[in-house]
Amino acid sequence: MWRPGFEYEEAQMATLDGYHRDLCVLSYVFRGTPEVPGLVMGLNPDGHCVGRAFRVAEKHVDQTLQYLDEREMINNVYEPSWVDASLEDDRVVQAFTFIARQDHAQYAGHFTFEKKVEYVLQGFGSGGSSLEYLENTCVHLRDLSIEDPMLEAILASAHAQNA
């Protein structure tokens, strides 16, 4: 959300019902390793998620989907899905997203709060640390006026333990 990595024509706030944002995926590459995994976001069932939807020019759709597949599907921990998203201008559109697979070995949605903090603090991979990833996500959410008390609580606890 804070670093799409592809060209888009428009970005709008969007709400996805039926899923919530969660630190629920063990990262073996970008924010950790198989030996010392980090923790990254996924969409988990229930609730709702406020984020951003990006409109991609039709001529770039195939290239963008290929890029997202290569970036997100390294270990097949997500289920690529088309879902209904409600935009801030009241339109409902089909949006492409990745939903965390609960049957995957890297799924960590069952972790306790304390265990999530532990994994955020330990993870470091090719893209940097899990802590940096969480910090960037929280800053971006705040900049967009999106409240996520659980992520903020995990971040505050990680900072307190890291002090």
Residue 162: what pLDDT?
87
Q: What is the mean pLDDT of the chain?
A: 95
Residue 152: what pLDDT?
98
Cβ(79)–Cβ(97) below 8 Å: no
DSSP the chain: -----S--SEEEEEEEEEEEEEEEEEESSSS--SSS-EEEEEEEEEEEEEEEEEE--GGGHHHHHHHHHHHH-SS--EEEEEEEEEETTS-EEEEEEEEE-TTSTTB-TT--HHHHHHHHHH-EETTEEHHHHHHHHHHHHHHTT---HHHHHHHHHHHHHH-
How far is the C-alpha of 30 from the C-alpha of 133, rounded, in Å? 10
Residue 2: what pLDDT?
66
Is the per-residue pLDDT at 14 higher than 80? yes
Cβ(1)–Cβ(54) below 8 Å: no
Using CA atoms, how far residue 143 sits from 17, 38, 86, 92, 136, in Å, is: 22, 24, 20, 24, 10
Calculate what percentage of the chain has a pLDDT beyond 70.
Answer: 99
Q: Report pLDDT digits (tens) over 129-146.
A: 999 999 999 999 999 999
Residue 32: what pLDDT?
97
pLDDT band at 44 (very low <50, low <70, confident <90, very high): very high
> What would the mean pLDDT of 15-33 be, rounded to a whole number?
96
Q: Which domains does the chain show, CATH number per domain?
A: 10-162 (3.10.490.10)
Please state the φ and ψ torsions of residue 2, each to the nearest 5 degrees. -90, -5
Q: Report pLDDT digits (tens) over 68-114.
A: 999 999 899 999 999 999 999 999 999 999 999 999 999 999 999 99
Residue 54: what pLDDT?
96
pTM for this entry: 0.91
